Chain A
Amino acid sequence: DARVTQTPRDKVTEMGQEVTMRCQPILGHNTVFWYRQTMMQGLELLAYFRNRAPLDDSGMPKDRFSAEMPDATLATLKIQPSEPRDSAVYFCASGRTGILAGGNNEQFFGPGTRLTVL
């Protein structure tokens, strides 16, 4: 049963520290999405990649957040330096998009990384 995996599941850190979250998408999916979920803002799309190239990162604070896909099996989201307002659950999702998907942009979500910045 193919699943999106995320590590770590929980992270507690102090303000100013670097945080790295990792995601392994489902094999064969060409698009990876990063979301952030908070009580106040709900579910927000931060960035997404297709075939490892960034397509849109307009939802991401540029000064401290960065997202990469070093290879097809790993996506990373980094926050440096972290701030208390970054406390949230960060979700990775993967799916197939483009011509082969035909508009059926179903996404498969990972379990999330719960980040707490003190």
Chain B
Amino acid sequence: AQSVTQLGSHVSVSEGALVLLRCNYSSSVPPYLFWYVQYPNQGLQLLLKYTSAATLVKGINGFEAEFKKSETSFHLTKPSAHMSDAAEYFCAVSGTQKLVFGQGTRLTINP
């Protein structure tokens, strides 16, 4: 069965600093991996996805993630945090007919 572990339920960074949100997955088949973002009082929206093409995936708002099979990881990064990046971030892996989500990481940006 597929599963996802997000390391750190809360991450706090300063504006302009590097953002790193960690995600490790478990999958019995070559995985499809996703990062979603949820801004306050909104639904989840797709940031980026890995579908077995390039291992470095670029998404919206300057985010990117790198698929590392040897480490079973799909960490999300952004070189310079902006106040508007404050949100909750969910990593997910494709399961049978559905997505399996991690518990989410709340990102706080300090001015």
Contacts and interface: CB of A to CB of B under 8 A. Distances in A.
Given A43-B90, A111-B42, A111-B43, A105 B99 contact: yes
Contacts of B90: 43
A55 interface: yes
Interface in B75-111: 90, 94-95, 97-99, 101, 103-104
Given A43-B90, A91-B43, A106 B97 contact: no
Contacts of B30: 103
Which residue, of B30, B36, B44, B90, has the highest number of chain A Cβ atoms within 10 A?
A: B44
A42 B29 CA distance: 26
Nearest to A107: B99
Instruction: Name the interface size band of chain B.
Output: 20 to 34
Interface in B37-73: 42-46, 49, 51
A contact face: mostly helix, strand, loop, or mixed? strand
B87 to A, nearest CB: 14
B94 A105 contact: yes
Given A110-B43, A112-B43, A104 B97 contact: no
Contact of B97 (A31, A43, A91, A112): A31
Interface in A80-109: 91, 93, 97-98, 103-109
A76 B44 CA distance: 20
A60 to B, nearest CB: 14
A91 B36 CA distance: 14
A58 to B, nearest CB: 12
Given A42-B103, A42-B104, A43-B104, A103 B94 contact: yes
Given A105-B98, A106-B46, 12 more contacts: A31-B98, A42-B104, A50-B97, A56-B98, A98-B97, A105-B32, A105-B94, A105-B99, A106-B99, A107-B44, A109-B45, A111-B42
Interface of A: 4, 31, 33, 42-43, 45, 48, 50, 55-56, 91, 93, 97-98, 103-112
11 contacts: A42-B103, A43-B104, A55-B97, A91-B43, A91-B44, A97-B98, A105-B97, A106-B46, A107-B99, A110-B43, A112-B42
